[in-house]
Structure 1
């Protein structure tokens, strides 16, 4: 009977670990895909990316800087190894996204329904969730 309980505990721990890993990759892939698309859009100066930065007073060249940072951050978070680099990438994406939300808020450019503030804060929250759920082999 004690062997059976031990196996049940092992199964519960294993399924919890698998669930946490699945949650990590789900959140991380949504974050990575969204930030990568945003970065590519900024590098290509596609659609509203030009208006988003110039209407709040930033020079147009900032789209190149932000686009490169976003793509490098996504690569660092998704690739295996380099746990210290991942820490920097997570913090960089957090500062990038909260900075975007604050920039739009301070410029009174909230967008439809606060979209210009809410979306970057949502991405910052996804970054926090991905960081908190990361497996032990992706931690320092």
Structure 2
């Protein structure tokens, strides 16, 4: 029985190390990239212009990146973390598509593909305390588990009974 316990402990340690490694890499890139975007350094300004986006887009994107990095690292706020993961995933996959459709070679988007994979890995390895409670927000918003409006607080959306 001790070997099972030791094996389970080792798996938990490896999982935690994988989670924090992936999360640190994604959060660091979001934070540094976000600051670069907000500052509109020449490298990112030239890149975003080449991709066909206006330069003011950098300030918006950079602000969300910095907030996403913070959300991934602070304790609690599991639902906000979920949004941050979605934002990072959309940012990286959108960047891959933007690069490929504007003439960049597949090999030139490798870093973006790795960041996408690290985002998914971090999300998949999250400890239970960093995951939103199953359906708690949906039920709290006046919806049943099946997604139908319940008799809870809020408007009844035209229901008469």
TM-score between both structures, scaled by the size of structure 1: 0.87
Q: Deviations over 1:39-60 (max 9, x none)?
A: 1111111241001111121111
Q: Where does residue 69 of structure 2 map in the other structure?
A: 74
1:68 and 1:41 map into 2 onto residues whose CA distance is 10
Tell me, what secondary structure is at the counterpart of 1:48? Answer: helix
Larger Cα Rg: Structure 1 or Structure 2?
A: 2
1:41 and 1:114 map into 2 onto residues whose CA distance is 23
- Is residue 53 of structure 1 aligned with residue 39 of structure 2? no
Moved over 4 A (4+): none
Q: Deviations over 1:107-138 (max 9, x none)?
A: 21x17x742x2222221111001001111111
1:65 and 1:120 map into 2 onto residues whose CA distance is 19
Mapping of residues 1-140 of structure 1, within 5 Å: 6-108=1-103, 110=104, 114-115=107-108, 117-140=109-132
Whose helix proportion is higher, 1 or 2? 1
| Number of corresponding residues | 132
RMSD of Structure 2 on Structure 1 (CA): 1.4
TM-score between both structures, scaled by the size of structure 2: 0.77
Q: Structure 2 unaligned segments of length 5 or more: list them.
A: 133-161
Q: Structure 1 unaligned segments of length 5 or more: list them.
A: 1-5
